[in-house]
């Protein structure tokens, strides 16, 4: 049985792209693996946060973890800052990283572009992501394709430490989602769906009301020929909607193309509205049941204890190999 680790930042409502690209994968993996899933709140503070909103979002994401099907009996679910080993190992790995490789990270370039100055945490963020993974002797990390560079850096740091200090870390592998499963923005199908986009109709959030879901899908960008056919290069809008429909209905794209042969985008979109509302309804219901319950806090505290037990064993090995402390 392999150990799996992944995490989601508590920054606002989780959207359909997060669910289909990551959370759905998390649920599948917990059946045959030892899974550890984290709400990475320390990652969130690389940019300024309102403390009250951050605390709210932490619990929102935790409740959505459970609502989409993560089972605390099968997976460890916890909040990053509840395990002190994250911050400690993050500093150690920062000392092992080179500034050149951190400055080359594409996400740092994108987020710092055009700014005179940014927080140092934005630069060292990749080492914090690396320690999340290495702290738990992770074998497999399920992530989107946009995280490949981060996984490569994590592997490089693990190999570097193992070379200089002896066997310290498991070198993890990324489990990257298929390109076809990547969900794009509804208003601009050439860009990834994002919870930070100004246009609220560019995304569908898991807790959206049916009226909002309907409006977002019906307004979604398509093309003028009206033929329901997958062609990511020439018809990115309808191709994106086909991916969403396929992922939510368990029908293949080819089956959907056959179903809508001779029909226009209007019929297709109306049906997609129904499929999306039906798929998200049980998630929303479960979320509402768990969000304000004592059970949520109990699950997170229990998960933190289990995660900390694993982290402490790793940190004993790290301190010993690095010559830290007096034991």
171 and 54 share a domain?
A: yes
Q: Give residue for tokens 């702290």.
A: 135
Number of domains in the chain: 2
Q: Does 162 lie in the same domain as 204?
A: no
Active-site residue list:
111, 192, 195
In a domain, residue 188? The reply is no
Q: What is the pLDDT along the chain (327 residues), one digit of tens a residue?
A: 899 999 999 977 789 988 988 888 899 999 999 999 999 999 999 888 999 999 999 999 999 999 999 999 999 999 999 999 999 999 999 999 998 898 888 777 777 777 778 888 888 889 999 999 999 999 999 887 778 889 999 999 999 999 999 999 999 998 876 654 679 999 999 998 888 788 999 999 999 999 999 999 999 999 998 999 999 999 999 999 999 999 999 899 999 999 999 999 999 999 999 999 999 999 999 999 999 999 999 999 999 999 999 999 999 999 999 999 987
Assess whether 141 and 257 both reside in one domain.
no
Distances (CA, A) of 27 to 7, 20, 37, 74, 199: 13, 11, 10, 10, 29
Cα–Cα distance for residue pair 70/209, rounded to 1 Å: 23
- Same domain, residue pair 241 and 307: no
Cα separation, 157 vs 170, in Å, equals 11
| In a shared domain, residues 243 and 171 | no
Say yes or no: 239 and 129 in one domain: no
Inside any domain, residue 192 = no
Q: What is the pLDDT of residue 178?
A: 60
User: Is 159 found in the same domain as 228?
Assistant: no
Classify residue 165: in a domain, yes or no: yes
Residues 46 and 99 in one domain: yes
Give the range of the structural domain holding residue 109, as residue numbers without chain letter. 3-181+294-322
The reply to whether 65 and 155 lie within a common domain is: yes
Flag whether 10 is in a domain: yes
50 and 152 inside one domain:
yes
**189 within some domain:** no
**CATH code (residue 278):** 1.10.240.10
pLDDT at 181: 61
Q: Check which CATH number belongs to the domain holding 317 and give it.
A: 3.40.50.620
Q: Is residue 70 part of a domain?
A: yes
pTM of structure: 0.89
Total length of the chain: 327
Are residues 161 and 52 both part of a single domain?
yes
Measured distance CA(282)–CA(115) in Å, rounded: 43
pLDDT of residue 286: 95
Structure tokens belonging to residue 2: 């392999």
In 10 A of CB 112, how many CB atoms? 16
- Please indicate, yes or no, whether residues 79 and 219 belong to a single structural domain of this protein: no
> What does the alpha-carbon distance between residue 142 and residue 205 come to, in Å, rounded to a whole number?
21
Between the CA of residue 181 and those of 147, 148, 252, what are the distances in Å?
Answer: 15, 16, 12
Question: Does 28 fall in a domain?
Answer: yes
């Amino acid at each position: 049985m392999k150990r799996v680790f992944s995490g989601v930042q508590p920054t606002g409502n989780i959207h359909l792209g997060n669910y289909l690209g990551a959370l759905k994968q998390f649920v599948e993996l917990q059946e045959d693996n030892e899974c550890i899933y984290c709400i990475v709140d320390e990652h969130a503070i690389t940019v300024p946060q309102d403390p009250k909103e951050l605390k709210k979002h932490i619990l929102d994401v935790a409740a959505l973890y459970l609502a989409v099907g993560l089972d605390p009996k099968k997976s460890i679910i916890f909040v990053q800052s509840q395990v002190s080993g994250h911050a400690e190992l993050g500093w150690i790995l920062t000392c092992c990283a080179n500034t050149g490789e951190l400055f080359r990270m594409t996400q740092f370039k994108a987020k710092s572009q055009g700014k005179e100055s940014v927080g140092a945490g934005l630069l060292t963020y990749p080492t914090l992501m690396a320690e999340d993974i290495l702290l738990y002797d992770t074998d497999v990390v399920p992530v989107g394709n946009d995280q490949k560079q981060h996984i490569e850096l994590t592997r490089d740091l693990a190999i570097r430490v193992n070379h200089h200090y002896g066997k310290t870390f498991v070198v993890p592998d990324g489990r990257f989602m298929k390109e076809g499963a990547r969900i794009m923005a509804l208003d601009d199908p050439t860009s990834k769906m994002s919870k930070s986009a100004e246009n609220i109709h560019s995304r569908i959030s898991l807790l959206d009301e049916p009226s909002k879901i309907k409006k977002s899908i019906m307004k979604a960008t398509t093309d003028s020929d009206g033929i329901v056919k997958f062609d990511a290069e020439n018809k990115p809008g309808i191709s994106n909607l086909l991916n969403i429909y396929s992922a939510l209905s368990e029908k293949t794209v080819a089956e959907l193309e056959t179903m809508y042969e001779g029909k226009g985008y209007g019929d297709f979109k109306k049906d997609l509205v129904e499929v999306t509302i039906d798929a998200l309804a049980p998630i929303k219901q479960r979320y509402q049941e768990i969000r304000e319950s004592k059970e949520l806090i109990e699950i997170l505290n229990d998960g933190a204890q289990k995660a900390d037990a694993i982290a402490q064993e790793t940190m004993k090995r790290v301190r010993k190999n690095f010559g830290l402390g007096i034991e």
